[in-house]
């Protein structure tokens, strides 16, 4: 008599664990890139990271990289010159305009265009969390954004022509005419430790 075989049970396979979407910071915070919390944002982490992220993918002259921290200080300085009446909150927004890059790095504009909306969405969520952490609205007012954009373009023009090998004509094509550029601005790249310290010092002065 043939032996009855039990019906085979389906093999249960474990679903793969979702990829890690958070980064641990030196402060001990764990920042989720997909759902960032303002409580996990620390200015010391931002300063440390930005001081070690290179502008222009590192394609700049000088002994050190020209860091996003140094760029941010330049943008805040130009914004202050363009709008002497701007209050401290506006200048803090200018200083922090690229703060998300302490987590996601500084991607050049052509590559951002290739990546499209997903990169922008992650960047937007991170910036909203950063702004909320420091008492700013999630999205700056239109006038503040316009000021920061002008200051950022002027900083890019200066960096492009003095550090990144662009001609003046080429820089004007991409960044426009520089408005509010500091006379004889020194763009000598700083060591990371100096950029970090200066960024923290300026933030402290504006936030006090």
- pLDDT tens digit sequence for 9-52: 666 666 666 677 788 999 999 999 889 999 999 999 999 999 99
Contact indicator for 72, 96 with CB cutoff of 8 Å: yes
Number of other residues whose CB lies within 10 A of the CB of residue 192: 18
pLDDT at 44: 98
Answer yes or no: is pLDDT of 85 > 90.
Answer: yes
Cβ neighbourhood burial of 178 (10 Å; 0-12, 13-18, 19+)? buried
Compute CA 204 distance to the chain's CA centroid, rounded to the nearest angstrom. 18
pLDDT at 185: 86
Please name each of the domains of the chain with its CATH number: 29-207 (1.10.3210.10)
**d(Cα 183, Cα 189) in Å, to the nearest integer?**
17
DSSP E strands in 25-121: the ranges are 30-32
Q: Name the β-bridge partners of 32.
A: 22
Give this prediction's pTM: 0.87
**d(Cα 62, Cα 74) in Å, to the nearest integer?**
17
User: Could you tell me the pLDDT band of residue 183, with boundaries at 50, 70 and 90?
Assistant: confident
140: three-class secondary structure by DSSP? coil
For residues 114-125, give the mean pLDDT: 80
Contact indicator for 67, 195 with CB cutoff of 8 Å: yes
């Amino acid at each position: 008599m043939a032996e009855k075989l039990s019906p085979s049970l389906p093999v249960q396979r474990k679903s793969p664990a979702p990829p890690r979407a958070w980064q641990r910071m030196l402060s001990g915070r764990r920042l989720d890139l997909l759902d960032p919390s303002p409580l996990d944002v620390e200015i010391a982490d931002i300063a440390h990271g930005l001081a070690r992220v290179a502008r222009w993918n590192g394609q700049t002259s000088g002994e050190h990289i020209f860091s996003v921290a140094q760029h941010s200080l330049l943008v805040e300085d130009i914004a202050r010159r363009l709008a002497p009446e701007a209050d401290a909150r506006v200048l803090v927004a200018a200083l922090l305009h690229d703060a998300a890059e302490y987590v996601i790095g500084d991607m050049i504009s052509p590559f951002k265009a290739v990546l499209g909306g997903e990169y922008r969405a992650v960047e937007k969520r991170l910036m909203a969390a950063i702004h909320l952490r420091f008492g700013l609205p999630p999205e700056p007012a239109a006038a503040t954004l316009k000021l920061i954009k002008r200051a950022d373009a002027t900083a890019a023009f200066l960096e492009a022509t003095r550090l990144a090998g662009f001609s003046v004509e080429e820089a004007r094509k991409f960044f426009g005419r520089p408005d509010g550029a500091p006379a004889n601005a020194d763009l000598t790249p700083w060591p990371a430790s100096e950029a970090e310290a200066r960024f923290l010092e300026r933030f402290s002065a504006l936030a006090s």
